[in-house]
Amino acid sequence: MQSRVVLERWWPRIGLWRTTRNRVGARHADNAPLIVPLPSVSPPSTTCPHAMSRAIPADRTHPAWPAHRAVALLPGSLPHGGVVPDTPIHAFVTPPAALTLGTADAPNPQRRDIELGGLLAFEIHHVLSHAEADAVIEASERFGYRKEAPGIATPPGMRINKSVHWVADSEFLGPVFARMAALLPQSIDGMTLHPRLSERLNMYRYDDGDVFNRHTDGEWPGYSLDTERRRMLQWPAHLRSCLTMLLYLNGPEDGVQGGDTRLYRPDGSSHDVRPAKGSALFFRHGFGPASVLHVGSPVHGPVPKYIARINVMYAMPTA
């Protein structure tokens, strides 16, 4: 019998840790914050102080990336406890050409369901081409990875990896959604699939020995940029996330060792999903018993694993 654990949630407007009880055998990560506004001026930059970037192979770089700026500042949780104030969420000042996806030579996504004891989980292969996945990695390294993760609260020792969060464009995520929309659940618990993915990408880099220990993902609102590309906007309350989309940006074909995602069934048995470049893993999240308990298994060796968590949005019925 697994012991009951405590959920800690950052509540930015009152600056306190709010503690609530959670279901047996689960911890929640990535709990949705209220938006924190930026100062009135946020100049663009091409470098990110305090970031932990890695060199990008020359044969995978794109010649021209636009400058970028912070579009939100949130408290950032550290892997072993503690909070860093004003951790940035980034965006490019203009949509980058490397992440403007067309329909030519688009991958042909295919869905594979995962038997998880009645819980919802599935993979969609070939969401991105290998070149598109490389471009997302390069974009994230332009912003730079940090130890702290903005706007989430995880207990000490749960999330041992590096993080960068940024807001992408519809020129990128629109085609991604279109490729796989027919393969997604059209309704969940009476809510209908929203025709846009949340445009906030929570990206994680797993270096040698990094791990994301057992947890369930929290439910989030949707996010996108304002028209001037200076602020991250939170979507209306009737839109809520129901599915985690873990987009694998590299894998064994790039030399990644380890890094499987382990999904747990209600009886405690598990199913391992190996990262496949350009493919995505989907599973139910939130604060109820249908939320899937999972682990980001340790990575071994010199090649880091890159993933992006993207939230699949659903609309609640309106009167």
Note the pLDDT of residue 293. Answer: 98
- Asked which of 12-16, 206-210, 269-273 is least confident by mean pLDDT, the reply is 12-16
Is the per-residue pLDDT at 31 higher than 60?
no
Note the pLDDT of residue 125. Answer: 97
Q: What are the angstrom distances between the C-alpha of 190 and each of 24, 32, 78, 185?
A: 25, 21, 36, 11
Is the per-residue pLDDT at 24 higher than 70?
no
Confidence of residue 213 (pLDDT cuts 50, 70, 90): very high
pLDDT digits (tens, 9 = 90+) for 41-53: 344 444 444 456 5
**Structural domains present in the chain:** 6-34+54-315 (2.60.120.620)
Question: pTM for the complete prediction?
Answer: 0.85
Note the pLDDT of residue 164. Answer: 99
Cα–Cα distance for residue pair 84/68, rounded to 1 Å: 21
- Asked which of 2-6, 213-217, 291-295 is least confident by mean pLDDT, the reply is 2-6
Average pLDDT over residues 200-215: 98
CA-closest candidate to residue 21, choices 3, 9, 6, 1: 6
Measured from the Cβ of residue 203, the count of other Cβ atoms closer than 10 Å reads 25
Is the per-residue pLDDT at 134 higher than 90?
yes
**Quick one: tokens of 109?**
């996504």
Residue indicated by tokens 């390294």: 141
Note the pLDDT of residue 286. Answer: 95
Note the pLDDT of residue 102. Answer: 79
Contacts of 128 (CB under 8 A, 6+ apart): 107, 136, 176, 247, 249, 278
Average pLDDT over residues 112-141: 97
Confidence of residue 236 (pLDDT cuts 50, 70, 90): very high
pLDDT digits (tens, 9 = 90+) for 49-88: 445 656 555 455 566 899 999 999 999 999 999 999 999 9
Note the pLDDT of residue 23. Answer: 35
